[in-house]
Amino acid sequence: MENQNAAPGRPENKMGVMPVHRLLLTMSIPMIISMLVQAMYNIVDSIFVAQINENALTAVSLAFPLQTLMIGVGVGTGVGVNSFLSKSLGEKNYGIVNRSAMNGILLAWFSCAVFMVVGLTLSLPFFRSQTDIAEIVGFGNDYLSIICVLSFGMFSQIMMERLLMSTGKTVYSMISQLLGAVTNIILDPIMIFGLFGFPRMEVAGAALATVIGQFVGASVAFYFNMTKNSEITLSLKELRPSATIIKRIYVVGLPSILMSSVGSVMTYALNLLLISFTATAVAVFGVYFKLQSFIFMPIFGLNNGVVPIIAYNFGARNKERIIMAVKLGLMYAFGIMSLGAAIFQIFPAFLLKQFNAAPEMLAIGIPALRIIGSHFPFAAFCILALSVFQALGNGMYSLIAATSRQLLLLLPIAWVLSLTGSVNAIWWAFPITEFFTLVLCAVLIKRIYDSKIKIM
């Protein structure tokens, strides 16, 4: 695309000049903090729900695949906008920067409309396909229908925060996420248990607290984009679809969305496999996902700092800065994941008891956390590799790795292990799968280095 909108007199963005180590920390630490807070409120949300009863916790766990898909669509679209916009900044193509931002907002609103329909029509059938326990179905339908129908805040928040990230304004993105998360944490007990004169809403209260927090986060992020993000101009004149820009966004973003779809299918299928043993196993699996988010979310925050650095310097053709960003990102990711693995090995009972775990849940959950947690250090490399693929505009590699991991490997391995008749055997599918995924990602990293980086 010809750079007709370059402005030579405009100062260089910090992603092209600041020392890479300092730049990565500057951009990633605010995102890591905000991701940790988000992970904390996810955990707190489930801790409160678990106080209702185990069926309430199971219902939220069964809602996870569709909820993950919804978040994945928002984040995937944001990743596409982030990568394309940061690359355009590196090329100093400022006209395209503004148009891609507005097209990203349009796509976020369209996604919201789709999931509103899903929430109104498919929520109840979705739960009935997984269980015939009436209380679980009722709790689950209450929770998921609210999350989907009122998803405007979530999609808007994700897109507005991605616009801030793409220009290096991660501190403002952190503030918007923090305010949304704190709002959720404060409202959770009030709406779930009916405090301070509010009606007791139970699981529906947890959902409503979540969407209110998302609306708060979206409003704050919008304000920062309008007042602090000088490199992007949000204008109604640019609020029109561009087939060319949307295609460029989804070249990177669609594989990320498809990865989330694959992840949702994996979780849904694994829930069906686990519930054939006992509903408690599904609750354990749901607790694991909440707990592992406290380990994985900082890695995603780190990646949110790595992606625009790589994309910007790829656009600026700066090979050394790209390689340095990847090496530093991997070093920090491995350290965080190793710490997480140690926590899962040493404190599994303590972690489970925070979710009101009964003896049956402890019997299943303790070995589950220890076995699954052993794959975290392997996952550090794989997660960073997926972000490198996206930042360099090759989202298809991310899709190949994710599909291989979650459909071609994890589910078949889990099914074979389930034939032993032991639910605890199923958990070994995670470390076995992660090892093979690491090998695949290493091969793909080598290919993308030879084809795009080495030749610079």
Residue 96, C-beta contacts closer than 8 angstroms, at least 6 positions apart: 1, 5, 88, 245
Task: Give me the pLDDT at residue 369, please.
Answer: 96
In a domain, 11, yes or no: no
In a domain, 332, yes or no: yes
- Contacts made by residues 263-268, CB under 8 angstroms, sequence distance 24+: 263/65, 263/68, 263/69, 263/72, 263/402, 263/406, 264/65, 264/66, 264/68, 264/69, 264/72, 265/65, 265/406, 265/407, 266/406, 266/407, 266/410, 266/411, 267/64, 267/65, 267/68, 268/65, 268/130
In a domain, 54, yes or no: yes
In a domain, 122, yes or no: yes
**CA dist., res. 220 & res. 222, Å (int):** 5
In a domain, 397, yes or no: yes
Task: Give me the pLDDT at residue 13, please.
Answer: 61
Task: Give me the pLDDT at residue 455, please.
Answer: 74
Task: Give me the pLDDT at residue 15, please.
Answer: 61
In a domain, 7, yes or no: no
pLDDT in tens, 247-299: 888 887 787 787 778 888 888 999 999 999 998 999 999 899 888 888 888 88
In a domain, 156, yes or no: yes
- pLDDT < 70 regions, the chain: 1-17, 38, 456
Longest CA pairwise span in the chain (Å)? 69
Task: Give me the pLDDT at residue 11, please.
Answer: 56
In a domain, 293, yes or no: yes
Provide the number of structural domains found in the chain: 1
Task: Give me the pLDDT at residue 164, please.
Answer: 87
pLDDT in tens, 92-136: 777 777 888 888 899 999 999 999 999 999 999 999 998 888 999
- Structural domain range at position 54: 18-453
Task: Give me the pLDDT at residue 121, please.
Answer: 94
- From the list 384, 234, 243, the residue with the least C-alpha distance to 304 is 384
pTM of the model: 0.76
Task: Give me the pLDDT at residue 1, please.
Answer: 37
